[in-house]
Amino acid sequence: MKILGIETSCDDTSVAVYDSDTHRAANLISSQVDLHDHFGGVVPELASRAHLVNLLPLVDVLLRQEDLELADLDGIAVTAGPGLIGALLVGLSTGKALALAADLPLVGIHHIEGHILANALTCEMVLPAVVLVVSGGHTELIHMPRVGVYERLGGTLDDAAGEAFDKTAKLLGLPYPGGPHIDRLARKGRPGRFDLPRPLLKDDRCAFSFSGLKTAVRLVIEGLPRPIPEQDLWDVCRDLQDAIVDVLAGKLFVQAERLGAPAVYLAGGVAANGWLRDRIQAEADCRGLAFTPPKPLYCTDNAAMIAMAGYHHLAAGRRDPLTLDSFARAPLSSWR
């Protein structure tokens, strides 16, 4: 099967072709980072307009690069949500038009399922597993007995971990997006200088909360001299990252042990964080659990993960009508 994937849920325009026979994904991304950097975050209307300009030319480049015609494809998978509704509509409308023109089956993919199945682009997944989905908009734990069956174990009560990274980066004057910059600078920092909380770490609930941590780090930053000395900057990044990773890893392994899962996985933009990946790897090895982090390319929004998810839907006989609508918010639910 050759599946065309389309991803436009936020500010990256991405298209991909996944070939199930060779297990190869050809993925292209048109980044909008420079467009939104001036505003310190994504401007939805600008994102939608950029998708309109970039999407079809990107599909054309990809197909020519892979020496394919639309007729050579076996289906089209497109992100239906959640995400920015205007951006989603651009991708979904384009996917529908291509499916209609080439008489191809269409499947709408939940963005979070795409991130979870990005792991399958890197390795053969061991199931059942507990997956930590962590990004700028999501922090939740998902139990995955098999592909297409998902149980939400719990999530954040307020802010996502990625938001804590990005808001702290903005307070420190770091470029957008801030998470990768904090990850890099934290490696120069000294641990334990600032007493930052580990919210809900000892709480028995499967729940996260990062709003209090955001407030604590803001108060620390407000108390620093201006301009902020380099060592102070590095130390804040280190302690923030340690606090977030302690909570994420702690909650993940509590649930894996409770459920007796033989494997754990990461998904979402923050899954590219080197500190988090190293911590999960070390603890998984100690516990004898399978863990292979997704390639960094497949952590951020990309169409290869959507094409991979689409392959599983189409292989199971699922397809969606051309009346399929996009959605800004909705939990991930099982489809098997």
Backbone dihedral angles phi then psi of residue 210, each to the nearest 5 degrees? -125, 5
Structural domain includes residue 328: no
Backbone dihedral angles phi then psi of residue 64, each to the nearest 5 degrees? -70, -40
pLDDT, tens digit, 9 for 90 and up, residues 240-291: 999 999 999 999 999 999 999 999 999 999 999 999 999 999 999 999 999 9
- CATH code: domain of residue 44: 3.30.420.40
Find the helix or strand (DSSP H, E) in which 78 lies: strand 75-81
Can you give the pLDDT at residue 233? Answer: 97
Residues 276 and 154 in one domain: yes
Residues 78 and 44 in one domain: yes
Can you give the pLDDT at residue 142? Answer: 98
Residues 155 and 271 in one domain: yes
Query: What does the alpha-carbon distance between residue 287 and residue 253 come to, in Å, rounded to a whole number?
Result: 9
pLDDT, tens digit, 9 for 90 and up, residues 113-164: 999 999 999 999 999 999 999 988 899 999 999 999 999 999 999 999 999 9
- Angstrom distances, CA of residue 225 to CA of 49, 165, 168, 279: 41, 21, 16, 32
Mean pLDDT value of segment 41-51? 84
The domain in which residue 102 lies consists of: 2-117+298-315
In sequence order, which residues have a C-beta less than 8 Å from that of residue 218 and are 6 or more positions away? 167, 168, 171
Residues 216 and 243 in one domain: yes
Q: What angle do CA 29, 30, 36 make, to 5 degrees?
A: 130
How sure is the predictor about 40, in pLDDT bands with cuts at 50, 70 and 90?
low
pTM for this model (two decimals): 0.93
Structural domain includes residue 140: yes
